[in-house]
Amino acid sequence: MSLKPSVLQYAAVWAQLLPPMAGLAGRRMTHPARRWIAAWCVALTVESVLSRMLGLRGANNLWLSYAFMPLTTGLALWALSHWQARGTLRLALRASIPVVVLVSVALTVAVENTRTFSLVTAPFHGLVLLLAALATFIHLSFRADGPLLRHDWFWVTSGLIIYAGTTAAVQPLGWYFLAEREELVRAVWTVSAAAGILAFIAIAGGLLCPELPTSSGGSSSPPSSRSWSSRSDS
């Protein structure tokens, strides 16, 4: 089955570059979490562009996602680790990366057909990223100083939650409908593209946040956190 990408799907590919462009344009890439999130977005864009190029030539491109998932999930987990206020949480996220890679390889070899949509590997990566983003969001929310909407991590983790939740559902649905229901595959991919655009707009908004100076009396937010309210300080 050959599925020609829609305009919305092409827009979703280039939306992945919005966060690094926002960070570079605002010159707000000093925090390592921001740089690693930008690297994650670039890796996703490279995967998407290569996939489109193979698809336009009539070649199977679904195997690319299996090759890139360990890389992109690792980059996102490493980025989230830099937002952890506690060393134990930071270490836990970083230590999980090689485990995720090993499990991903095992699932791919044992279960998957890399020439079709993922039944278990993509949902595994999506759930791992979803849990990591949710845990970061909840942990930082309890430590936040001021309204949550003013913090960069709020927008970035929210975008990651949208992206990861979509990833966990889309490929299994594509796998299920691929054989006989092309119109449903297209519908699933349209919803995925729309959710992806929303996710990367949110992440880009986070990378546009100005940097807050760390309070001398201590802050309930992580060091080097940013807030929209500090625009006048930048």
**Per-residue pLDDT tens for 142-187?**
888 777 888 899 999 999 999 999 988 887 776 666 656 667 777 7
Q: How many CB atoms lie within 10 A of CB 212?
A: 23
Q: CA–CA separation, 34 vs 82, rounded Å?
A: 9
150 falls within a domain: no
148 falls within a domain: no
16 falls within a domain: yes
CA nearest to 74, candidates 56, 101, 49: 101
231 falls within a domain: no
List the Cα angle 71/44/129 in 5-degree steps. Answer: 60
Whether 61 has a pLDDT exceeding 90, the answer reads no
Domain that holds residue 69: 7-143+156-202
Count of domains observed in the chain: 1
219 falls within a domain: no
208 falls within a domain: no
CA nearest to 105, candidates 92, 124, 81: 124
234 falls within a domain: no
Please give the C-alpha separations between residue 100 and each of 37, 69, 75, in angstroms, as whole numbers. Answer: 18, 10, 12
Say what percent of the chain tops pLDDT 70: 84
1 falls within a domain: no
Residue 217's pLDDT band (cuts 50, 70, 90): very low
DSSP per-residue codes, the chain:
---PPPHHHHHHHHHTTHHHHHHHHTT---SHHHHHHHHHHHHHHHHHHHHHHHHHTT---THHHHHHHHHHHHHHHHHHHTT-SSHHHHHHHHHHHHHHHHHHHHHHHHT--TTS--SSHHHHHHHHHHHHHHHHHHHHHHH-SS-GGGBHHHHHHHHHHHHHHHHHHHHHHHHHHTTT-HHHHHHHHHHHHHHHHHHHHHHHHHHTSPBPPPPTT--SSPTT-BBGGGGGG-
**Per-residue pLDDT tens for 64-123?**
999 999 999 999 999 999 998 778 889 999 999 999 999 999 999 999 888 888 889 999
Q: Give the mean pLDDT of the chain.
A: 83
pTM of the model as a whole:
0.84
